[in-house]
Structure 1
Amino acid sequence: MTDTETLSKLRGVVLKLARELNATATGEGLTPTQASVLGLIAFRGPLGLTDLAQLEGLNPTMLSRVVGRLTELGLIQRDPNPDDLRAIRVEATDSGRLLHERVKLLRSEAIGQCLDELPAESVRSIVDALPALEELALALRRSTSTTGA
């Protein structure tokens, strides 16, 4: 187990990276939350609203606002769930999928530009750490799905 200070630094770095990457979507006219919700819907959709709220960690009121705005922008569509006609599923439209791909490209370009500015040794260290970071992400997903956090 790693010491508390190191764990805190890792958490801080991950949060800073996420914040900076989320900011790249604002150039496309989306808030970071809207871009994140659109990304989940485009990647995993169609999704029920309950599932979407759990995956994104949003309360129902906030999710309703975000889904409403994405629907107004024509980026997602709301349809009855064929398994439960009382429930709604959301799915990305063609425009939503295209915008999501643009956001992903912008984020990749931003990372690439920053990596170009770093020393080669730092880039190698980051690339070498990717498998371990992927394992960490999976472990966090398993942990939060079993604890409900």
Structure 2
Amino acid sequence: MSDTETLNKLRSVISRLARELNATATDEGLTPTQASVLGLIAFRGPLGLTELARLEGLNPTMVSRVIGRLTELGLIQRDPNPADLRAIQVEATDLGRELQQRIKLLRTEAIGKCLDQLPQESARTIIDALPALEELALALRSTHS
């Protein structure tokens, strides 16, 4: 489809965008990984730790650390998994959902401010590319499922 140099540029831009957006979570006292895990838990509802590790691409030790910290902060709660009482599932608390909404709002505002600073044609090109970028995200997801 495209040459390697173009694909590397696309990957690099996506990575830089993700890093910049992740920085908004540090303003709220969370690491990017903690914010990502909280976001997934708040969005998907109660999740088992194995599923959470798979969805986030984290090893069980890292998931355990992140869950421990988010629990300490009162952002998530651990409950017995009704399907397997030996296992636990985690879900966001009201405080966790509020923080996740604040992080989403900060990220949305940051993107809006940046788009406003770009030349109008560049901003329109980015907006017009959204359907294709959504397709790319779905295609990437399906290669990892």
Q: TM-score range by the shorter chain?
A: over 0.9
Whether 1:15 and 2:38 are equivalent positions in the alignment is no
Matched, 1:130 2:122: no
Aligned length: 145
Structure-to-structure mapping, 1:107-122, within 5 angstroms:
107-122=107-122
- The offset of 1:45, in angstroms, is 1.6
Paired AA for residue 94 in structure 1 = D
Structure 1 runs of 4+ with >2 Å offset: none
Matches within 5 A, 1:1-149: 1-145=1-145
- Segments of 5+ residues of structure 1 without an aligned counterpart are none
**Distance in 1 (alpha carbons) for counterparts of 2:87 and 2:140:** 29
- Counterparts of 2:112 and 2:14 in 1: how far apart (Å)? 17
Q: Match for 2:64: what amino acid?
A: S
Structure 1, residues 9-63: CA drift from partner, whole Å, max 9, x if none? 1100000000000000111111111000000000002101011001111111111
Q: TM-score, normalised by structure 2?
A: 0.99
Secondary structure of the corresponding residue to residue 114 of structure 1: helix
Aligned-pair identity (%): 81
Equivalent residue letter for 1:119:
P
Q: TM-score, normalised by structure 1?
A: 0.96
Q: Secondary structure at the match of 1:28?
A: coil
Q: In structure 2, what is the Cα distance between the partners aligned to 1:141 and 1:87? A: 27
Secondary structure, aligned partner of 1:8: helix
SS in 1 for 2:90: strand
